[in-house]
Amino acid sequence: MKKNIILIHGAGVGGWVFRDIEKILKLYGNNVYCPNLSGIGDRKKLLENKVNLTTYAKEIKDLILTNNLNNVYLIGHSFGGAVVSAVVELIP
């Protein structure tokens, strides 16, 4: 059964840190998302705005809702764990 997996990076790195894991998970037929949170990588320009844990949680919530994902596995590395907890508060 195909799983919906979102890998959330920690502070100081971006979604690219999961590229090898992403390939393996996709090889097994999963839907995998490794977004860059605001202020990182291609979203660096968004750092000019005030970003905080709520900003990151809303970004992941929007990813889930935009892609109409159900039964999502949220996996956070380091600070990404705090983002996971905040997302769960927004989408139980």
Catalytic residues: 78
CA distances from 35 to 1, 23, 65, 76 (A): 23, 14, 14, 12
How does strand 4-8 pair with strand 72-76?
A: parallel
Bridge partners, 38 (sequence order): none
Cα(8)–Cα(18) distance, integer angstroms: 9
